[in-house]
Structure 1
Amino acid sequence: MYYAAANGLAEAFNKTLCNLLKKIVDKSKRDWHLRIGEALWAYRTTFRTPTQATPYPLIYSVEAVLPLECQIPSLRIVIQEGLSEKDNVRLRLEELKALDEKRLETQQRIECYQARLSKAFNKHVRPRSFQIGELVLAVRRPIILTHGG
Structure 2
Amino acid sequence: MGAQFTGVEFWDFCQDNLIDVYYSIAHPRCNGQVECANGMVLQSIKSRIFDDASKYATKWLRELPHVIWGLRTQKSSAIGYTPFFMVYSSEAILPSNVAFGARRIQYYEEGEAERSWQVNIDSLEEQRVAALLQHACHEQQIRHYHDRNIKERSFNVGEYNQPGTCTN
The two structures have a TM-score, normalised by structure 2, of: 0.68
1:72 alignment partner, one of 100, 114, 117 = 100
Unaligned runs of 5+ in 2: 1-22, 164-168
Unaligned runs of 5+ in 1: 139-149
2:151 alignment partner, one of 121, 126, 130 = 126
Alignment of 1:70-109 (within 5 A): 70-80=98-108, 82-84=109-111, 87-109=112-134
For residue 141 of structure 1, what is the aligned residue in structure 2?
none
Structure-1 separation of matches of 2:89 and 2:56: 34
Q: What is the CA RMSD across the aligned residues, in angstroms?
A: 2.4
Alignment of 1:2-81 (within 5 A): 2=24, 7-27=31-51, 28-30=55-57, 31-80=59-108
Of 43-52 and 117-126, more deviation after overlay is shown by 43-52
Q: Deviations over 1:61-109 (max 9, x none)?
A: 11111112222221111232x333xx43222121111112111111111
Higher-RCO chain (CA-CA 8 Å, sequence separation at least 6)? 1
Query: How big is the shift at 1:29?
Result: 4.0
The aligned length equals 135
The two structures have a TM-score, normalised by structure 1, of: 0.76
Identity %: 21
Cα 1:25–1:96, aligned 2, differ >3 Å: closer, same or farther? same
